[in-house]
Amino acid sequence: MKTLGSSHTGGIWLGAFSLPLVLCFWPVTIPEELKTAVFKVAVNATSCSVTCGVGIKLEELCEVTGAGERRNCTLQRSSCLSNSMCGLLHFTVSVGKPFQLTCLDSDVVAFGSGAYRYRWRFAPGLITTNKLLLKPFRSTDPVLRFATTREADSGTYQCDVQMLKTLEVIKRIYFGLRMIQDDLADLDFYKSLTWEQKLAAKKPERATENSTKEEVQRQKPFWQGKFLDVYWVGLGSGVIGGVLVSLVASCLFRKLWRSRAAKQ
């Protein structure tokens, strides 16, 4: 019995592998209706407009004949889906200023024509993605608008985009919102710079290096250059005489430099 079972199983496997070979040599007849049929297929497409959630892509649709000929090609926009998790975005806003959080772009919302549902959740005063700390929020729109922001508006906002028919979450994004008082900090960094700092920021790096070298040269005592001139003159008049002249000139120029520095 064991031998018969093994041979039966082997016959089944042999038949399974030989079937494709038989079909390859079996004559296939394509109906005349299919030969003359025209199919409209997407032959090319752009990448999705977003890296997460739902977006829009542009497709090229062409009529393809049974002979493989393309004709009557048109461009068409269609929706596309990427990774549903979009991460956490941080914002710092001054109290009293208008602000808005956008869960889904307006062009995608208009293209969907009511195919999506939006659910907001809020964790007051916290920057977190812990679902236990996020509570349902009142808004059901794709854009959350603040006419006048308050300190109580700070926290984390979670937005879920769902398919209206299946309630499947196709996008989830978090917004971390921090509120600050205008009298405590100014967010305009360039405005807080002094005139010298703004001027230095506009200069190229090479010009800054040249100006630094000139400044160092101006800060050197004036007697150093004069002393070198007298020193070479002294050496020209003899070794011993040159040394004496150099020492006397050095003392004189040092006294002049100190008196000049004291007057300044």
What's the Cα-to-Cα distance from 147 to each of 132, 150, 158, rounded to whole Å? 28, 10, 19
Segment 108-137 mean pLDDT: 91
Token pair belonging to 153 = 């508006």
8 versus 96: which is more confidently predicted?
Answer: 96
CB-based contact 234:241 (threshold 8 Å)? yes
The mean per-residue pLDDT over the stretch 209-237 comes to 51
Count of CA atoms in the C-beta half-sphere (13 A) of 201: 9
Q: Are 139 and 153 in contact (CB under 8 A)?
A: no
| 17 part of a folded domain | no
| CB proximity list for 187: less than 8 A, separation 6 or greater | 92, 94, 180
Confidence class of residue 227 from pLDDT cuts 50, 70 and 90?
very low
Shared domain check, 172 and 110: yes
Burial class (CB in 10 A: 0-12, 13-18, 19+), 201: exposed
Total tally of structural domains belonging to the chain: 3
Q: How far is CA 150 from CA 138, 154, 180, in A?
A: 17, 8, 9
Q: What is the rounded CA–CA span in Å between residue 176 and residue 91?
A: 6
Q: Are residues 215 and 131 in the same domain?
A: no
Confidence of residue 158 (pLDDT cuts 50, 70, 90): very high
Say what the pLDDT of residue 195 is. 75
Q: Is the dihedral of CA 108, 110, 116, 118 positive or negative?
A: positive
**Within-domain flag for 2:** no
Q: Which amino acid is at 222?
A: F
Rg of the chain over Cα atoms, rounded to whole angstroms, equals 41
Q: In the listed set 129, 147, 180, which residue is the last one of a domain according to the structure?
A: 180
pLDDT for 63: 83
Are residues 131 and 153 both part of a single domain?
Answer: yes
pTM recorded for the entire structure: 0.55
Indicate if 201 and 170 belong to the same structural domain: no
What backbone torsions phi and psi does residue 7 show, to the nearest 5 degrees? Answer: -70, -35
Tell which wins on pLDDT, 160 or 205: 160
Residues 97 and 171 in one domain: yes
* Residue numbers of the domain that contains 52: 35-83
Residue that finishes a domain, picked among 130, 155, 180: 180
Residue 245 lies in a domain: yes
The pLDDT score that the predictor gives to residue 1 is 44
Q: Give the model's pLDDT for residue 261.
A: 58
More confident residue, 110 or 2: 110
Q: Tell whether 185 is covered by a domain.
A: no
Does residue 26 sit within a domain?
Answer: no
pLDDT for 110 beyond 50 = yes
pLDDT exceeds 60 at position 240:
no
Indicate if 147 and 132 belong to the same structural domain: yes
Query: If you count DSSP H runs as helices and E runs as strands, how many of each does the chain have, helices first?
Result: 7, 10
Please determine, for residue 16, whether its predicted confidence score (pLDDT) is greater than 80.
no
- Would you say residue 172 has pLDDT above 50? yes
Domain harbouring 148, CATH code: 2.60.40.10
Q: What does the pLDDT look like over 39-91, one tens digit per residue?
A: 778 888 889 989 999 999 999 888 887 777 788 888 888 888 888 999 999 99
